[in-house]
Every structure is written in C-alpha cells, then in structure tokens.
Structure 1
C-alpha cells in the first residue's frame, strides 16, 4: 500500500514563522496564492504534551483550506514522517513557547 504524501509547509504569519503539515499543496485558484489542504495534527487523548501543537490545532480547527500568498511561503518540503508543528520567532528562529492558559484572577 502506498503511503500518502505529506508536506511540511513553513510560512510567515503575524511576524512569526508557522510550520504545519498537510496532505495536499497545490497552486491555488486565486492568482499568486498557494492552496494548503488536509492539515495534519497529532491527536493526543488526555495529557497535553505540546501546547503549541494544541494551539495550532485550535487555530485551524475549522479550516478546510489555507490560501497563502506566495510571498509568505518560506519552504514546502515533502517529508516521510510528521514532525512537531511549531511557531517560531521570525528573527531568531527560536520556537515560541505557548504558555498554558492562566485562569482569570478571582472576582
């Protein structure tokens, strides 16, 4: 059985570099845009291991397709295995640590 193609897509978004995994990457119907479909996230039951992965999953939960301007795309790689989705600082390349949500102070 042939394995499904998997892509790692790195792109600029709001001053950060997002790294996501997807099954489909195509030239979009909109001129100058690349269409990213079938996003892949780790589905972990129970304990949250990586809050960044959960944040990305929540941010793109209802997204059927991303239409990214070609200028925002840094790299598209065809990969054999899914790695960790990440948000990185655009200037330093360091992974942005997403803190756990803090409950609001009591009223």
Structure 2
C-alpha cells in the first residue's frame, strides 16, 4: 500500500453535461457544506511525446487552480489508484445517478 503522501485519487464528476475524470493528490470533504475539495491536480508528464488533447484541455482549465470545490451531488466516483492516468472530458450520455445527499441541518 502506498504511503499517505504518495496516494493518487481518480475523481469522476459531472460538470455542465460533461463528465470530468481528473487525478489529484488530495480529496476531502470541504468545510463548505455540500462540497468536496480537490487539491494538487496531477497530469501526464511534460516529457511525454504524445499529447492527449483532452488532457491538455483539462490541464489548461485547471492551470493555476490551487483547490477546486465540486458539489457532492456532481460526484460519480472516487478511486484511490496506484498511479495517475490520462485526465479526460467526455459528453454525459444516458442517465447519471446523483450522489445521495443528506438533508440540510436545521438552524435554531
């Protein structure tokens, strides 16, 4: 098993009729209710000879992003993986079931 600092997560979520698959070093529940925080995005090596246009699009979109907040209901799946893969964006086809949500806490 990888050390805690070496962990890589694949996070798949829906964003405006597209499915994003990204890789990151840190994924956790945000202090903002209803959001997941994703930090330290991981993209393919700069020395790769073949450049994937989909991954390059995501790399540009998340360039300079320190932390991304994704609504819990947009999350499809989170996996801890041994190493990063190719980040990609695909069209959302068919039905995608939303992540179950807990009720909003009542305020007194």
TM-score surpassing 0.5?
Answer: yes
Whole-Å separation in 2 of the counterparts to 1:7 and 1:13: 18
Q: Secondary structure at the match of 1:21?
A: strand
Specify which of 17, 35, 38 is matched with residue 36 of structure 1: 38
Q: How many residues align?
A: 92
Unpaired stretches in structure 1, ≥5 consecutive residues? 93-107
TM-score, normalised relative to structure 1: 0.78
Among candidates 61, 64, 73, match of residue 63 of structure 2: 61
Q: How does 1:39-54 map to 2 (within 5 A)?
A: 39-45=41-47, 49-54=51-56
User: Of residues 83, 86, 106 in structure 2, which corresponds to 1:84?
Assistant: 86
Shift of 1:44: 2.2
RMSD across aligned positions (CA): 1.8
TM-score by length of 2: 0.77
Task: In structure 2, list runs of 5 or more residues that go unmatched.
Answer: 95-108
CA distance in 2, matches of 1:56, 1:47: 18
Deviation at 1:83, TM superposition (A): 1.1
| Superimposed CA distance per residue, residues 24-78 of structure 1 (whole angstroms, 9 cap, x where no aligned partner) | 0011010010000010011324855211111111100011111110000000000
